[in-house]
Amino acid sequence: MADENSNTADKSGNANQLGPEVRGRGIYLLPNLFTTAALFAGFYAIVSAYNENYAGAAVAILVAMVLDGFDGRVARMTNTTSAFGAEYDSMSDMVSFGVAPAFLMYAWSLSTMRITDYGYLGWVCAFFYVACCGLRLARFNVQIGKADKRFFQGLACPSAAALIACVVWVMDDLGVPGRETEFLSVFVTLLTGLLMVSNFAYYSFKEYRASHRVPFFVAMALVLVLVFVSFDPPKVLLIGFFLYALSGPMHAAFRWIRKRNRSPLVK
């Protein structure tokens, strides 16, 4: 960590006694490079959507998701975590996984909704998603150190953004114009927004660390997954993120049914 200024000292050379020792104002470079790259990918997705390059915008959001997964892990591995990095990461997430997917869906489909028939439903749905993303990030930040790290409360913003991106990517790959899928677009946008602010528990996969040993079959399974994805990336990724989005409500329903079956009958 490079310091821009040395510790505060008075003219006699002694440390300033008016308060605690002040550290320099530098920032950790490596993890913030990943965060900046994720922010760049999110901004590129917005520009691509504006230029009607919807497939490119969808891929950029997925790239931002991958980069976002690296910055926190790199910071922990190199012991360079900081409050600045956490705040910067949240700002980047708001752009890459809030504004970018909402604008992509709006530019591709929601903007084609005729005002005379549906009012301002298109941009209202897009804003609803952005607001839910902001609320999700704020709730996550205040729960750091308190919530169970094995689970997310509500669908994580990167997963929600990836689901929207994959829907647009698949439809664009099939040659289906956005104006023909207006109701599907509204449903997906509202659903992902609601899942983000829900109380459903989603497995975070944070128990798995790169430094830990895993069975050999796990490595083989990862290879098979990569091969499977390479056959048709947009469709396979859409299925994967859709199943993950459903895992929260399904897990809650399973727990409710099991709890109901175990409860004694009231006479």
Rounded CA-CA distance 196/129 in Å is: 9
196 CA to centre of own chain:
10
Residue 37 lies in a domain: yes
Rounded CA-CA distance 223/116 in Å is: 51
Confidence of residue 48 (pLDDT cuts 50, 70, 90): very high
Residue 10 lies in a domain: no
Q: Are 183 and 121 in contact (CB under 8 A)?
A: no
Residues in the chain: 267
| Overall domain count for the chain | 1
Pick the range with the lowest mean pLDDT from 9-13, 155-159, 214-218, 251-255.
9-13
For 129, residues 6+ apart whose C-beta sits below 8 A from its C-beta are 98, 101, 102, 105, 160, 164, 189, 190, 192, 193
Count of C-beta atoms within a 10 Å radius of residue 121:
14
* Residue span of the structural domain in which 65 resides: 29-207+228-256
More confident: 149 or 245: 245
Rounded CA-CA distance 112/139 in Å is: 33
The burial of 128, by beta-carbon neighbours within 10 Å (0-12 exposed, 13-18 middle, 19 or more buried), is given as: middle
Residue 223 lies in a domain: no
Pick the range with the lowest mean pLDDT from 23-27, 83-87, 178-182.
23-27
Residue 263 lies in a domain: no
Among the listed residues 113, 115, 160, 152, the one whose alpha carbon sits nearest the alpha carbon of residue 133: 160
Could you report the per-residue pLDDT of 197-256, keeping only the tens digit for each? 999 989 877 665 555 666 776 677 778 878 877 888 889 999 999 999 999 999 888 888
Question: Is residue 9 helix, strand or coil?
Answer: strand
Rounded CA-CA distance 241/49 in Å is: 21
pLDDT at 5 over 50: no
Would you report the helix, strand and coil content of the chain in percent, each value rounded to 5? 70, 5, 30
Q: Which of 33-37, 40-44, 208-212 has the highest mean pLDDT?
A: 40-44
pLDDT at 9 over 50: no
Q: What is the CATH number of the domain that holds 44?
A: 1.20.120.1760
CA distance from start to end of the chain = 67
Pick the range with the lowest mean pLDDT from 5-19, 152-166, 185-199.
5-19
The sign of the CA dihedral 94, 98, 99, 101 is positive
Confidence of residue 3 (pLDDT cuts 50, 70, 90): very low
Residue 66 lies in a domain: yes
More confident: 93 or 256: 93
Q: Are 119 and 62 in contact (CB under 8 A)?
A: no
